[in-house]
Amino acid sequence: MNFDDYRRHDATALAELVASGQVSAADLLATAQARLEAVEPRINAVPIRMAEQARRQLAEGLSGPFAGVPFLIKDIAQDYAGVPTTMGSRALRDFKPAQHAEVTRRFLEAGLVVFGKTSTPELALKGRTEPLRWGATRNPWDLQRTPGGSSGGAAAAVAAGIVPMAGANDGGGSIRIPAACCGLFGLRPSRGRVPCGPGAGEIWEGASSDLVVSRSVRDSARMLDALQGPDIGAPFHIEAPRGSYAQNAQQEPGRLRIAVCTRSPLGLPVDAQIVAAIEETARLLESLGHSVEAAEPEIDGMGLAKAYLTLYFGQVAATVAEIRTLTGASESEFEAETRTLALLGRSISAGEYVARRRDWNLYARSLGRFFEDFDLYLTPTLASLPLPIGSDALPRWQQVALGPILGLGLGKFLLKTGIVDELAVESLRHVPFTQLANLTGTPAMSVPLHWSRESLPIGSQFIAPFGREDRLLQLAGQLERAMPWFDRTPGDERRGTGDAWKSARDLDRLADDEAPSASTSPVSRLPASKRRLEETPRDLAGIDVEIGAAERVGDHRPHDRQARPDVPRVGEHVLLRMRAAAAAAAHALLDAVADPGHRRLARTAGAVGPEREARIGR
């Protein structure tokens, strides 16, 4: 099978081809390995190869719902017996576990052919994947940006077309963050839905869950069917779902009550393009018949962040100590940031740790009361677009300044300086929305519905009540049918991995769109058709638009580069830059922007060309 054919199929479809004899598992593996060799020098996502293990699987025979589909597992918490687990750390050297993790055993039982392990930041501690052990993993949508973390290697590999889905886990957003960065679907299951034994009964006090990042909703749904279920000796047991998750993804969800909030829980700015994208998601939900209301649970965002960081510190301290005992590594073999977190963890009292752990119950109860009035909660997945590589790293001067503190073990001194509050702000400013689901144990998903002006993916996060993955998958399937994203892949013009993006919609299809509803969204009146314009990868056309009296501040986002809360006023002209075919742009915009508050565009054919303006007519 050539790569173009391979990429046109998700894991479910590839498994069907193998089952019908139209392609062999060996052919699929060869295609995946060839793709890995082609793109790995640019994305650096798969540091550990497992070709021998994959060949052994083929020789032994395959069965299960994904029999013959190539697959990658994450280099933490998804151990494969006899294969190094490094957790992205130099301190683990070449540690090889003696047995499979339970989740890995279930991956193999599903028939997946595992041929490598994907990169993670050291100990999976960051929302970016730049471990010193392996170097930075790069986002196929823009090689100068991060794919997120901690499942950044998995997301980059899927976005680059190496595999249709890859193993991932989520202890603070590590499935949803990279899914949002790389234009993928990412579902974090409820606490206890997927086992994490036998090496642990729970990971991070139950905050972490395993599943995959995938290009299609149904792949994640079918994978959850394969992974879910009790594990001997596990501390959590959750009621089995009614029916299958694969069936849920094909069902209509009915009319849902959905709360939406774009405000950062930390009170920090959220990128204007991301805010606008969530507003568009709200409009889409309304067009699908759902009730959407601006609301948020009564939870102290800073308090939740501090509770999360207390867990973070304590778990890092315990993990560093365990690795040192296991391998004999010195503390200097860990990265400076990891050593600092471990020092803080050793400095927190057991009483403080337990007190903050008890706070989780308060947050879960508050969220539970919130879900008495709503079926789902919509927020951005991220507060910013994917960050440039290295931009969020600890500055060199701070690393030098930390030297004496680490050497003298002055963790209690650091805590007295108020560093926890500062770390809560600095470490979570770009990812403040995801930790709520982890601490409350609820399921959550990131859905790739929008792209920025820079052609970077933007994720919409939905959180559901505990145990309601079925509801999330029903809505995800509906959204996927309404706004398909499967064929939207990185392309040459996006400084990505070099594949042409062949899925653009023609502007002339806009003429068939229905005009936006006259009703006002609880969030925004942004015309939904503008989204189609932004998705079209054509030449840039500059369109001069005058803000009308009927509009509100920000109605042009994300298309208006000048749209700021304090800038647009009635009568002010702003330049919209959108991807458009030269001859069709004026007519397309006129049809797309049905808002009577705008002054009309001139209908002169050919008035718009790349980097030219069409003037406003009276």
With residue 469 as reference, give the H or E element that holds it: helix 469-482
Q: Is the pLDDT of residue 7 over 70?
A: yes
Domain boundaries, the chain: 3-295+430-494, 301-372+393-428, 504-618
Of 532, 590, 524, 546, nearest to 272 by C-alpha is 524
CA dist list (Å): 297 to 271, 300, 435, 493, 498: 22, 9, 14, 41, 43
Q: Is the pLDDT of residue 275 over 70?
A: yes
Domain at 3-295+430-494: CATH architecture: Alpha-Beta Complex (3.90)
Measured N-to-C along each axis, helices 102-109 and 217-227 cross at an angle, to the nearest 10 degrees, of: 110
Q: Is the pLDDT of residue 265 over 80?
A: yes
pLDDT of residue 279: 98
Q: Measure the CA–CA gap between 36 and 66, rounded to whole angstroms.
A: 20
Q: Mean pLDDT over residues 263-286, rounded?
A: 98
Highest mean pLDDT: which of 381-395, 407-421, 450-464, 548-562? 450-464
Q: Measure the CA–CA gap between 89 and 150, rounded to whole angstroms.
A: 13
Of 559, 546, 549, nearest to 618 by C-alpha is 546
Residue 527's pLDDT band (cuts 50, 70, 90):
very low
Residue 513's pLDDT band (cuts 50, 70, 90):
very low
Amino acid at 496: G
Q: Measure the CA–CA gap between 518 and 276, rounded to whole angstroms.
A: 19
Give the DSSP letter string of 67-96: TT-EEEEESSS---TTS---TT-GGGTT--
The count of other CB atoms within 10 Å of the CB of residue 401 is: 10
Sign of CA dihedral 501, 274, 524, 546: negative
Q: Mean pLDDT over residues 33-46, rounded?
A: 98
pLDDT of residue 409: 57
Q: Angle at the Cα of 112 (from 19 to 151), degrees rounded to 5?
A: 140
Residue that the structure tokens 């997946």 belong to = 112
pLDDT of residue 579: 36
Q: Measure the CA–CA gap between 125 and 343, rounded to whole angstroms.
A: 15
Say which DSSP state 521 is in: P
Say which DSSP state 162 is in: S
The mean-pLDDT minimum among 83-97, 196-210, 253-267, 426-440 falls in 196-210
pLDDT of residue 406: 54
Distance of CA 204 to the CA centre of its chain: 20
Contact 175, 189 (CB under 8 A): no
pLDDT in tens, 134-171: 999 999 999 999 999 999 999 999 999 999 999 999 99
Residue 578's pLDDT band (cuts 50, 70, 90):
very low
Of 529, 536, 516, nearest to 578 by C-alpha is 536
Q: Is the pLDDT of residue 561 over 70?
A: no
More confident residue, 15 or 535: 15
Residue 413's pLDDT band (cuts 50, 70, 90):
low
pLDDT in tens, 415-439: 666 666 776 678 899 999 999 999 9
pLDDT of residue 262: 99
Highest mean pLDDT: which of 251-255, 562-566, 581-585? 251-255
Q: Mean pLDDT over residues 219-227, rounded?
A: 99
Residue 497's pLDDT band (cuts 50, 70, 90):
low
Q: Measure the CA–CA gap between 613 and 618, rounded to whole angstroms.
A: 16
Contact 402, 161 (CB under 8 A): no
Residue that the structure tokens 């280099």 belong to = 75
pLDDT of residue 443: 99
Active site residues per annotation: 74, 150, 174
pLDDT of residue 582: 34
Determine if the peptide bond prior to 558 is cis (ω within 30°).
yes
Residue 605's pLDDT band (cuts 50, 70, 90):
very low
Rounded to two decimals, what is the model's pTM? 0.80
pLDDT in tens, 309-318: 999 999 999 9
Of 487, 484, 532, 490, nearest to 508 by C-alpha is 532
Q: Measure the CA–CA gap between 201 and 548, rounded to whole angstroms.
A: 59
Residue 533's pLDDT band (cuts 50, 70, 90):
very low
